[in-house]
Amino acid sequence: MLPDYLAPGLRVVLVGTAVGEQSFARGHYYAGRGNSFWRLLHETGFTPARLTPDDDATLPNFGIGLTDLVKSVAQSHDRGLTEHYDVPGFTAKIAKYQPTVVAFTSREAGTAVARTVRHKPPSFGPAAWTVCGRPVFVLPSPSGSNNRRTDPTREEMWRRLTEFIDATT
């Protein structure tokens, strides 16, 4: 699987459900055809230039960390992943690095963690619960298979995330 890109002092850790098959094959996060992750990072002010999947290891330089709930399987859909979620491993990472905000890059990932802290599945935006005391935000998936999503738009939610991080610091 792909390595975590985590460090102390990050503004946000972006948490996916599992590495997609195309990302696994390329060896880089959010490398699937049609994935809007890198465009969204730049257009909403997280990075000064538009990066590519090949730049994923540089994200901590911008205060951004990357990890996934599933580190044992690569697949491009969420079906059947429940048995592979490593929520204890994920929360240990958050406890260790204490980012300003934890942001899930899919409702599925947010829901998996919400269940473990006995909260109902989250809506997009700020969650009513935390991970290891860190505020949580849930984003619509940037996956190419989610390109038809219009309400709320992914761009709108990523902009709200930047505002949420700024208000939290």
Instruction: Summarize the confidence of residues 66-73 as an average pLDDT.
Output: 83
- The whole-number pLDDT of residue 119 equals 83
Give the number of other CB atoms < 10 A from CB of residue 92.
12
42 belongs to a structural domain = yes
61 belongs to a structural domain = yes
Instruction: Summarize the confidence of residues 94-111 as an average pLDDT.
Output: 94
- The whole-number pLDDT of residue 150 equals 52
User: What are the tens digits of pLDDT across the range 19-63?
Assistant: 778 888 899 999 988 899 999 999 999 999 999 999 999 999 999
Specify the range with the lowest mean pLDDT, choosing from 11-15, 42-46, 75-79, 103-107.
75-79
- The whole-number pLDDT of residue 154 equals 83
Predicted TM-score (pTM) of this structure: 0.90
What is the tally of structural domains in the chain?
1
82 belongs to a structural domain = yes
- The whole-number pLDDT of residue 2 equals 93
4 belongs to a structural domain = no
User: What are the tens digits of pLDDT across the range 110-153?
Assistant: 998 998 888 887 889 999 999 999 999 999 988 765 555 555 68
For residue 75, is pLDDT > 60? no
153 belongs to a structural domain = yes
Domain range for 132 is 12-168
- The whole-number pLDDT of residue 103 equals 98
CATH no. for residue 41?
Answer: 3.40.470.10
Distance from the first to the final alpha carbon of the chain: 32
3 belongs to a structural domain = no
* DSSP code string of 56-95: GGGGGGGTEEEEEEESS---SS-TT-GGG--HHHHHHHHH
